[in-house]
Structure 1
Amino acid sequence: MVICEAKDYKDLSRKAANIISAQVIMKPDAVLGLATGSSPEGMYAQLVEWYNKGDVDFSRIRTVNLDEYRGLAKENEQSYDYFMHKHFFDKVNIDVNNTNLPNGLAEDPEEECRRYDALIESLGGVDLQLLGMGHNGHIGFNEPGDFFDKGTHCVDLQPSTIEANKRFFESEDDVPKQAYTMGIGTIMKAKKILVIVSGADKAEILKKALYGPVTPKVPASILQMHPDVTVIADKAALSAGE
């Protein structure tokens, strides 16, 4: 595991964008596992800037997103599909037919999970998986629990996750209570993993994830077992030390 300290959020975003763009340049048809939320917004903005300068070409890239709220249509402004189009897909030359997210409106959750796992397998797996980290150590929507879920699954969101996400909705009642997420097993099959963490409020959980015991109580701790993980965190997020 490589831990890279960034000076601030802007530096973090640039360093993360460097790794993503390098992957695209090395393998123009790479499969990128993408994430949403506030952490990667700056990274996507940097990639868009470099695309506009002609420095990076996304025309052959395939993508699979980590997660999607259950019950939200793609057109809903709070869906992760909408987020990806707003911040990235609609601003670069990616083929929308090569972008993939779980279907939040799928009628049969179990069938949707099987479909998504089969899709990822059909693409040959993920070359580079981008992750953020929740305040409780979740990656994707793999919440703390008694075991590590292997494949894509539909999860009940914990109160702390709903609390963290309510700022994006008109009220807490509007926050979906379930989401589809890649499982820990799927994430761990990625050839490379890039984790970005920002802010002092993440310092304690980042310390547990990087240096504590590997336990499903801290889902991100499983990343200690992956052979190729890069963590980019700002000084604030690394302030708890080892």
Structure 2
Amino acid sequence: MKIEVLPSEEIKTRVADLLSEQIKRNPKSVLGMTTGSSPIKYGIYQEWIRREQAGEFSFHEARFINPDELVGIPADHPESYRTYMQEHLFGQLQTLRYEPQIPDGSSTDLKAECLRFDQLLADLGYVDWQLMGLGLNGHIAFIEPSNHIPAKTYVSQLFVENRPVHSPHFRSEEEVPKQSITIGLEAVMKARNIVLVATGDNKAEMVAKAFAGPITTSVPASFLQLHASATIILDAAAASKLSL
């Protein structure tokens, strides 16, 4: 695990440079995405779109895959992660050839959908380059803190702070998803490269717990300490409680 602390305005460039290196190494890379706030707030996806339109990137041979999706809403719902990715990235790429792969949270058989997604990951040879964020409670993907974290893709119970309860797209709190489909630890650890971005002083305590504390299922991100190639990109505020 490698930790980098950068000015916030340089994060999008650094992440794009790491992605560029990956595509040059393997144009057929399987690229894992994230639907957190950081890719939009810091212009990460916008920088990828800019570089692609400038001819610096080509995703023609690459495949995109997302590790999670909210359960109980259709794929075209305004709050679905498929909608998020389509609006902020996929719909603006000019060289996208293959259909992006995202779990189906509206499936009537969630167990079968988890098995299907695990098989898809295996068929693709798992992820070559995975972008991640860090939840305030230490989650990665939607692997929430728990006494036990499954190895395989599973249905996760969302913590209250991670449910989109303030979204105007739900008429009542009862409509707000309480679960997600998420990859398990096996897919995380089999990703050949992970790039995690965490910013802001509200993440500082969790950054210290995750990357300088004990490895524990109560802080899922702490397992990245064991990963063979994880790059943690922080701004100064997020890194403020680390001893570097």
| TM bucket, shorter chain | over 0.9
Shift of 1:184: 1.5
Structure 1 stretches of 5 or more lacking a match? none
Tell whether 2:94 aligns with 1:93: yes
The equivalent of 1:231 in structure 2 is 232
Mapped to 2, the partners of 1:218 and 1:31 lie a distance apart of 26
Mapped to 2, the partners of 1:102 and 1:67 lie a distance apart of 6
Shift of 1:134: 0.3
The equivalent of 2:2 in structure 1 is 2
Return structure 1 stretches of 4+ with deviation > 2 angstroms.
93-98, 165-172
Q: Is residue 67–residue 141 contact of structure 1 (8 Å, CA) maintained in 2? A: yes
Mapped to 2, the partners of 1:96 and 1:179 lie a distance apart of 27
Spell out the pairing of 1:16-55 with structure 2 (5 A cutoff): 16-41=15-40, 42-55=43-56
**Residue by residue, what CA displacement relative to the aligned partner does 1:190-222 show, whole Å, maximum 9, x if unpaired?**
111110101110000011000100000000000
Mapped to 2, the partners of 1:98 and 1:197 lie a distance apart of 28
Q: Is residue 202–residue 237 contact of structure 1 (8 Å, CA) maintained in 2? A: yes
State the aligned residue count: 239
The equivalent of 1:127 in structure 2 is 128
| Corresponding residue SS for 1:195 | strand
Q: Is residue 148–residue 184 contact of structure 1 (8 Å, CA) maintained in 2? A: yes
Mapped to 1, the partners of 2:65 and 2:83 lie a distance apart of 14
Mapped to 1, the partners of 2:82 and 2:59 lie a distance apart of 18
Q: Is residue 144–residue 217 contact of structure 1 (8 Å, CA) maintained in 2? A: yes
Mapped to 2, the partners of 1:34 and 1:11 lie a distance apart of 20
What is the CA RMSD across the aligned residues, in angstroms? 1.5
**Residue by residue, what CA displacement relative to the aligned partner does 1:171-192 show, whole Å, maximum 9, x if unpaired?**
6714311111111221111111
Shift of 1:72: 1.6
Q: Is residue 25–residue 56 contact of structure 1 (8 Å, CA) maintained in 2? A: no
Tell whether 2:59 aligns with 1:58: yes
Shift of 1:37: 1.8
**Residue by residue, what CA displacement relative to the aligned partner does 1:11-37 show, whole Å, maximum 9, x if unpaired?**
112211211122112211100111112
Mapped to 2, the partners of 1:146 and 1:169 lie a distance apart of 33
**Residue by residue, what CA displacement relative to the aligned partner does 1:111-147 show, whole Å, maximum 9, x if unpaired?**
0000001001101111011110100000011111112
**Residue by residue, what CA displacement relative to the aligned partner does 1:73-100 show, whole Å, maximum 9, x if unpaired?**
1211111101111111111134364310
Spell out the pairing of 1:100-119 with structure 2 (5 A cutoff): 100-119=101-120
The equivalent of 1:13 in structure 2 is 12
